[in-house]
C-alpha cells in the first residue's frame, strides 16, 4: 500500500485555489449550531444519514425492481461500507488466498 503522506506535495497555489473555492464562513449559523446541545447535533447527523440511506434505497429500488426490501438494504449497506469483506467473511470458510 502506498503512503499518501509522503507523496503529497502541498503547493501553496493549489491550496489557495482550494480555499478560494470554499464558501465564506456563516458566523451566525456557526453561533446557532454552537448553542445546540451535542446530543441534538448528533441526532441531526443521524437523521441526515437516514435520509441519505432512504434516498439511495429508493434509487436502488428503481434500478433493481426485482430485489426484495432485505436485498435492497444489503445493497445499500454494501455501497456505503468502505470495508470490503473477503470470501471468508461471507461463507465462513477460509479463502484460497488466506491458506
pLDDT in tens, the chain (99 residues): 455 555 667 788 888 888 888 888 899 988 998 999 999 989 989 999 999 999 999 999 999 999 999 999 999 998 988 766 655 555 455 555 554
- In this prediction, residue 65 carries a pLDDT of 96
Residue 17 lies in a domain: no
Tell me if 12 is assigned to some domain: no
Residue 19 lies in a domain: no
**What pLDDT does residue 70 have?**
95
The three cell numbers of residue 83 are 470495508
30 in a structural domain: no
Q: What's the CA gap between 6 and 9, in Å, rounded?
A: 8
Torsion of CA 42, 20, 18, 24, to 10 degrees: 0
What residues contact 95, with CB distance under 8 A and at least 6 apart?
A: 86, 87, 88
The answer to whether residue 2 sits within a structural domain is no
Residue 51 in any domain: the answer is yes
Q: Is 23 inside any structural domain? A: no
Q: 60 in a domain, yes or no?
A: yes
Q: What range does the domain containing 68 cover? A: 38-81
Separation of alpha carbons 34 and 6, rounded Å: 36
Prediction pTM value: 0.52
Tell me how many domains the chain contains.
1
Amino acid at each position: 500500500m502506498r503512503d499518501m503522506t509522503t507523496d503529497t506535495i502541498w503547493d501553496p497555489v493549489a491550496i489557495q485555489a482550494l480555499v478560494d473555492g470554499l464558501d465564506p464562513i456563516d458566523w451566525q449559523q456557526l453561533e446557532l449550531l454552537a448553542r445546540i446541545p451535542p446530543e441534538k447535533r448528533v441526532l441531526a447527523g443521524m437523521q441526515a444519514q437516514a435520509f441519505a440511506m432512504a434516498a439511495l434505497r429508493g434509487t436502488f429500488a428503481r434500478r433493481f425492481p426485482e430485489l426484495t426490501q432485505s436485498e435492497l438494504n444489503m445493497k445499500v449497506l454494501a455501497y456505503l461500507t468502505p470495508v470490503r469483506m473477503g470470501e471468508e467473511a461471507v461463507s465462513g470458510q477460509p479463502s484460497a488466498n488466506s491458506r
